[in-house]
A and B are shown apart, each in its own frame.
Chain A
Amino acid sequence: MRCKMKLRSSIIIAACAATLAAAPAWAQFKPTKPVEFIVHTGPGGGADVLARFIAQTFEKENLAPVRFTVNNKSGGGGLTAMAYVAEKKGDTHAIAVFTGNWLTNPLTRAEAKFTVKDMTPVARLVLEPALIAVKGDAPFKTLKDFIEAAKKAPGTMKQSGGSITSRDNVVRQLLMKDTGANWAYISFPGGGERIAALLGGHVNMMVVEPQEAGEHIKAGNMRVIATVADKRLGGFPNVPTIKEAGYDIPNVEQVRGIVMPAGVAPDVVAYYEDLFLRLSKTATWRKYLEEQQFEDGYMKSAELAKYFDVFTDQMRVILKEAGAKVVR
């Protein structure tokens, strides 16, 4: 008995000592030179705008002791930025904005040499909902109207969107599978062209981001018949989500967050985690989320790592069904 108690107390003492030793480590890391903020789009792209806004807010709200400079590493469909981050192993002064693409692209591209597993997740920041929209004078008032019309004339209704691996098509695939309806999907390379196709009457429906379509909706040129979100959007209180409209499909989120190179110490990750937590609590950030109609999806590093796995597995299944060639 005495041996056991001695063992237990030693363990307790050891644990206390370890905690005491670790505690100062939490306050240890602070960036000492400008931090590189890597984005996979060129200037003006979604991730770029977000990163610049974040850097701006850091300065405005005095959240960080150093500057964050945006480094555009566009190209390779996002793979260039991913490779760049993965190759910066151990660099404590580099972070990157990741989007859902970072998780999906390696699944279909054999050329990808790295995946998010070669990086350290830091924090998830936002979830972007989307709107299902039709032209302002279209006869569809609800999602049901559209799907019924599609069922009556299979293949004649048209949707504009990005590539077949984009969220637009994923939503379409899920809806088509769930309802048995069938409608065509036409890819356009830019958001502007997709909207133009809808406004010009060349396609019947599209999945669009709120900030892209905001002005058109206000002007009455576009009508929103459902939202791709977990719960009703503040900007569209009278529009049901897809689930509320009666179609039980998983919500397809467009996610954005922060990762950094692998091989960095836990206190470094903790620093950035905390930095972004403080960011997410500022009024500037809250206002930004409201304006962009983003959902606050803050998640810490460990949870984020699990989320990556879940998301990737889900997308793998969906992509296969959509007809894309999945290579890993």
Chain B
Amino acid sequence: MEVLTSLGHGFAVALEPLNLFWCFVGVFLGTAVGVMPGLGPAATIAMLLPLTFNMPPTTAVIMLAGIYYGAKYGGSTTAILLNVPGESASVVTCLDGYQMARNGRAGAALGIAAISSFIAGTVGVLGLMLLAPPLAKFGLSFSSPEYFALMVMGLAMVVLLAGKSMIKALLAMLLGLWIASMGIDLFSDASRFTFGQSELLDGVDFVIVAIGVFALGEVFGNMEKRGEGTMLPVPKGLRNLLPTMAELKACRFAFLNGSIIGFIIGVLPGAGSTIASFISYGVEKAVSKHPEKFGTGVPEGVAAPEGANNSETGGAMVPLLTLGIPGSGTTAILLAAFILWGLRPGPLMIQENPDLFWGLVASMYVGNVMLLVLNLPLIPLFAQILKLREYILYPIIFGISIVGVYAVSGSLFDCWMLVVFGLLGYAIRRLDYPSAPLILGLVLGDSMERALRQSLMMSQGDLAILVSRPISATMLILAIVLLCLPLFRRANQWRVKALEENG
């Protein structure tokens, strides 16, 4: 019950007018910038950090957390409407979200994204509040073998995302793995596939590949057929602008799935929201009654990754606030901000700074509510973007892509990478290769290789370490089960068919 009183105290802090105001500012700015591809939450927080120097630390933390959340919400808007992933985790939303928009259900997709994000965000905050210390301990028990198993589970998703041609899906994934390995090898300091360019030493930024392959590839593909019409069917009438009860009902499991998977993966330092989104999407597809429909615009395909994306924020706060360990780029900046204000998140933070911790937790909840209230009414407004004619929209997409990429790195080389990956995106489309496995390989390749090599270093070359530990063994078995599910399903279909034919 101590938790409840502390939470009450936290709400008192969060609902102070000053904190409420800056929470709103953070949430609003975060959404606005999250819509811009390339400018993810990390860059936004960094840009707005100077603003916070004159604020009391609690207020500043509240605002920054609001930005973090808001950016996640904003990222899904362009993913759904324009196939432009606003930040890396929104890539998965593009898969079904954009297809829903093409089917005239843009408003519904946006609504589902907002609702799912709200539910998952709430679950995330609840988890943070109630389970932080024990979860932190759980997070610590994860090490390289477990991460490897997690990545394998992620790659097993390829099988689920394959579509028509398994070979092409695998090839796309291998291509993604290759792109991921460009850069400096962490362990040996050797540079791999950098073609002598120092700009490639850090590898290719994921966002550049995502924008090139998804957004630009789509635009180039659409240029084949010259048309004058509007880009996507604009939903008419308020009823069409929001998800129907049937759609919401279909997403019941997805809400849960996204919330839990996202939160747990968020707790693991270094895992990241992109992996959370992919795994949640894959799991949803695996347990769905109509898996073949995924990728054509099913609401669960939006609800699951969007939920995972948001509850991951809550999860990432667990190691940050209880151990002072940043789990991702964004939390690293938050940590730096904390340090600049003289705060030190760590095991003693909850005891030493209860105001801050509980105030933050409460304001995350408040921020969630604000985002839902902000975003739902804005959906009709956003949907109007679809009314723009193609020849106005496409140049805007070009502009957003270039500015989004350039604003973050200030590098012309990165813009050239956009050109390269735009061509790749078009080629993939034209030659009928699935793009999701490519992105999956890109996201997981690096982490998986690293986890494998770390594990083998720990065990001195003994592969058994991957299966001898309980958690990693469990996940590897899960991965195998996921891989075999399509086979079970097919066997079941034969069985049913056989029964029908006989009876």
Contacts and interface: CB of A to CB of B under 8 A. Distances in A.
Q: Answer yes or no: do A and B interact.
A: yes
Interface of A: 42-45, 48-49, 52-53, 56, 72-77, 79-80, 83, 108-113, 155-156, 158, 163-165, 184-190, 192-193, 195-197, 199-200, 202-203, 211, 214-216, 218-219, 221, 291, 324-325
Contacts of B190: 325
Contacts of A186: 144, 454, 457-458
B244 interface: no
A165 B189 contact: yes
Contacts of A195: 323, 325
Contact of B319 (A77, A187, A196): A196
B458 A202 contact: yes
B457 A214 contact: no
B416 interface: no
B43 interface: yes
Interface in B23-73: 42-43, 45-47, 49, 53
Given A192-B319, A196-B319, A75 B199 contact: yes
A155 B461 CA distance: 11
Contacts of B329: 42, 44
Contacts of B45: 43
A251 B369 CA distance: 54
Interface string B328-342: 010011011101101
B140 A163 contact: no
A190 B270 contact: yes
B458 A200 contact: no
Interface stretch (B77-85, B162-170, B180-188): B180-188
Contact of A77 (B140, B141, B202): B202
Nearest to A292: B339
27 contacts: A42-B42, A42-B329, A43-B333, A44-B337, A76-B199, A76-B202, A77-B184, A80-B198, A80-B411, A109-B201, A111-B194, A111-B198, A164-B187, A164-B188, A189-B186, A189-B270, A192-B319, A211-B339, A214-B346, A215-B324, A215-B344, A215-B345, A215-B349, A218-B346, A219-B348, A324-B188, A325-B190
Contacts of A156: 460
B291 interface: no
Given A190-B269, A192-B269, A324-B188, 6 more contacts: A42-B46, A75-B201, A80-B411, A158-B457, A163-B187, A193-B325
A44 B337 CA distance: 7
B333 A44 contact: yes
Nearest to B47: A43
A111 B319 contact: no
Candidate in A53, A56, A72, A80 with the most chain B CB atoms within 10 angstroms:
A80
A49 B335 CA distance: 11
Contacts of B47: 43
A193 to B, nearest CB: 5
Interface in B410-435: 410-411
Given A53-B340, A202-B143, A163 B189 contact: yes
A74 B189 CA distance: 18
A323 to B, nearest CB: 8
Contact of A219 (B202, B342, B346): B346
A74 B409 contact: yes
Interface residues of B, number: 59
B460 A77 contact: no
A252 to B, nearest CB: 17
Contacts of B144: 186, 202
Nearest to B456: A186
A75 B409 contact: yes
B308 to A, nearest CB: 21
A76 B336 contact: no
Nearest to B345: A215
B269 A44 contact: no
B354 interface: no
A189 B270 CA distance: 9
A187 B143 CA distance: 13
B142 interface: yes
A84 B259 CA distance: 44
Given A77-B201, A184-B458, A186-B457, A192 B346 contact: no
Contacts of B46: 42-44, 72
B196 interface: yes
A115 to B, nearest CB: 13
A187 B270 CA distance: 14
Contacts of B324: 215-216
A72 B336 CA distance: 15
B199 to A, nearest CB: 6
Contacts of A109: 184, 191, 198, 201
Contact of A187 (B187, B332, B347): B187
Given A42-B42, A196-B140, A200-B141, A184 B457 contact: yes
Contact of A192 (B196, B198, B326, B409): B326
Nearest to A221: B347
Contacts of B199: 75-76, 80
Contact of A200 (B140, B200, B457): B140
Contacts of A72: 46
B431 to A, nearest CB: 31
A199 B335 contact: no
Contact of B189 (A45, A164, A200): A164
Contacts of B201: 75-77, 79, 109, 111
B460 A196 contact: no
Interface string B73-113: 00000000000000000000000000000000000000000
A79 B198 CA distance: 7
A45 B332 CA distance: 8
Given A111-B198, A111-B201, A196 B458 contact: no
A198 to B, nearest CB: 9
A199 B140 contact: yes
A193 B49 CA distance: 25
